[in-house]
Structures are given as C-alpha cells and as structure tokens.
Structure 1
Amino acid sequence: MNEGTELLSRLEKYKMVAAIKDPKNMEQAVLYKDHLSAVLLMTGTILTVKRYVDFFQSHGLPVILHVDKIGGLQMDHDGIEFIKRNVKPSAIVTTKSGVIKKAKTSGLYVIQRVFLIDTDVFTHLEKDAINDQIVADMIEVMPCRAPDFIQRLSKVSPVPVITGGLLNSPEHAKEALDHGAMAVTTSNAEMWKWNVNNL
C-alpha cells in the first residue's frame, strides 16, 4: 500500500486530521490517535521537520506536511527531493500551483489548499474540477464553514475534498462531512477527542 492509498484509507475511516501549529501539541495528537486520520504538520524547520515526521509515523499516524510553513525550506527541485527522500511524509499540502506541479512530477502525494475568499476563487476552482484540470491528488477547502460550496465542489471534483479552518464544534465537522467533505482538519485539540463517526 503506497502512502497516498494508506492516507486515503485513514481519511475515509477516521475523518479527522489534527493540524499541528506548535510542537507542544504533538504529544496531545498522539494521545487521540485512535480518532485521527493523520496529522497536518504546520510547524518546524528544515532542521527539525524529519524528527517531527518520524515521531508521528512511529505512532502510526500519517503526516501531511504543510511545506509552505516549514522554516528554511525552499520548494525548488532540491527542496522537493529533500522532502521526498529524507523527510518522507505521506503527503504535502501547499497553496502554490508551481510547487504542486513540481511535487507531482517527483511522485509526491499533493494536497492543494484553497482559501475561498470570494466567489471568483470558487468559480475558477469549480471550472478546473469540471474540466478535469486539477493537478493535485486532493483539495483542502478553507474555511470549512462554507458547506454549500463544499457540496458543489465535491460533486464535480475528480479528487477528494477535505476542509478546515474556523472549525470549533462537532456540529461544524458534521455539517462539512454531510456536505461531501471526506475529512475535516482542525488545530482545536478539544476536537481531536471526538470520534466524528459517532456524531
């Protein structure tokens, strides 16, 4: 089973991704690993990121690495190869289309993070989905509190849709999942305690 397949399987099963913005929350995520699909690592530098990824993977948690947030990391050819060969996350997430294309070419599993700041952004994304022009393996829509847009996109997207941002109650998670999101991401550690399948 390759990294992308394992990640997808866990996303379908557990539906909750713990976003880690501070190393002090790492132990807490491991505490609730039986409710989590994966962790979205949004902290660290090129000096610490491998250690953080290894820590989670040693506890059976796949890591989605937010490469835009890692200090000192430049996602050129060498940076991508460094991530692929040395850090070895299950997937990366980025907002940058150039990084998505280069990372896909190198064989990394890539999640495209999209901020729905206005209708134009959504219309462009929906058009790309309908025309099968999505390059990434998955889309993360931000914020999660736009269930009607999540539903519209998930109906036409050739790749799975996850969502996060402004998620601070089980009801928000359930609404996003009911509207077509495969999983939700949150940095709210209180939410990690919930088994969203029981909502």
Structure 2
Amino acid sequence: MLEKFEDCPVIAAIKDDDGLKKCLDSDIQIVFVLYGDICSISGIVSTLKKAGKTVIIHIDLIAGLSSKEIAVTYIKSVTHADGIISTRPAVIRETREEGLFAIMRFFVIDSIAFENIKRQTESVHPDMIEILPGVMPKVIKKICSQSRIPVIAGGLISDKEDIMAALGAGAVSISTTNQTVWFM
C-alpha cells in the first residue's frame, strides 16, 4: 500500500457528492472519503471501488458511527474500504488489528504537537500519519526527520507550489479537497 502512496503524490479528499463525481473523472488513484453516514458510506465506497480507486475512510467524519473500535469492524465488513483515517489512537489500533491500512491524523497547532505525534505513533503504530495543515514545510520536515512513519500533508493545499513544498519537505503525498489541484 505504501507504494501506491509513493506513486500517487496527490490524493483526492472528497467531502460531498460533487467531489465524488469529479474524482471519478480524475486520474487520481487514492481517495480519502470525508463525508457520509452509516446508510450512505457503503454506496460511496462501492462507487469508488468500481472505478478502480483505493478508498480510505475518515471514520471520525461518518455520521452515525461511534468513536468505538466496533465502527472499524463495521467499515471493514460492510464497505470493504482499504483503510481508515482517524485522530483516535484506539481506532487506529483496531484498524491495524483488522488488517486495514491505518492513517492517523494530527492537527499541528503548537509545539506540543511534536511530542504528541511521537508518543501516539510509538504507541499505536499507524501505517502513515497525516499532518494538517499541510502548508508548513518546516514543520513537515521536522516531523519527517523525527518519525520513521511516512507523512501525508493535508489541508489548505491550493496550488502546485504548496504541493512541491510539502513533497520537498519529505511528505510522501498530499491530500486535498481542492478539485483544481486534482487535475494539475
């Protein structure tokens, strides 16, 4: 799975049905699903999988699912998604135990975040980490130098310069809801 991310520097993050439709027309192979509910998520994943996309669900954003580990089992058995994104350590741990690809999302808002990232990644061992906002090359570089876990830069990425800065700082990929960036 890591090879897919290395081969796909831009990840489409979709937040609504319009984004779903547009990402189907793109060459992007990895899609982060940031919307839906317990009734619609299976159909969203099915549509993306039929188009040959790798699908990672941000489980914290799916309405009707609790933050409990059982939600991971539900996602695996009902949707057949490839992986899960979460900010919750217990959910990431369960994702790994279920054999799904695990991405732990961190919001870097101050210097305390560096220690938090280190402590939590050493505890739950996600496959990748996603850093938001993704427009902080110095911060991305520091995190990449302190962690062996590959980094995705996400949030506020709006142009090619942002992409190149994040990748140049050591991120493997970037994720964005900005549809213009998907077609660059």
Q: Same fold (TM over 0.5)?
A: yes
Equivalent residue, structure 1, for 2:135: 145
Other structure's SS at 1:10 match: helix
Q: CA deviation digits over 1:56-75, x for unaligned, max 9?
A: 11111111100001110124
Q: Shift in Å at residue 104 of structure 1?
A: 2.0
Contact conserved, 1:13 with 1:37, CA < 8 A, in 2?
no
Give the % identical residues: 30
User: Taking structure 2 as the reference length, what is the TM-score of the superposition?
Assistant: 0.93
Output the CA distance in 1 between the equivalents of 2:145 and 2:69: 34
Aligned to 1:9: 3
**Counterpart Cα distance in 2 of 1:95 and 1:128:** 10
1:56-114 Cα deviation digits (max 9, x unpaired) = 11111111100001110124343221111121111100111121122222222210000
State the shift of 1:134 in Å: 5.0
Alpha carbon RMSD of aligned pairs, Å?
1.6
Give the structure 2 partner of residue 197 of structure 1.
none
Query: CA, structure 1 residues 183+46, in 2 after alignment: closer, same or farther (shift >3 Å)?
Result: same
**Which amino acid letter does the alignment assign opposite residue 137 of structure 2?**
P
1:24 corresponds in structure 2 to 18
Q: Say how many residue pairs are matched.
A: 184
Report Cα offsets for 1:26-78 as digits up to 9, x if no partner. Answer: 1110111x2x2411101111111011001111111111100001110124343
Query: Unmatched 5+ residue regions in structure 1?
Result: 195-199
Q: What TM-score comes out, normalization by structure 1 length?
A: 0.86
1:158 and 2:148 matched: yes
Q: In the alignment, which residue of structure 1 is the partner of 2:87?
A: 95
Distance in 2 (CA, whole Å) between partners of 1:158 and 1:37 is 24
Q: Which runs of 5+ in 2 are unaligned?
A: none
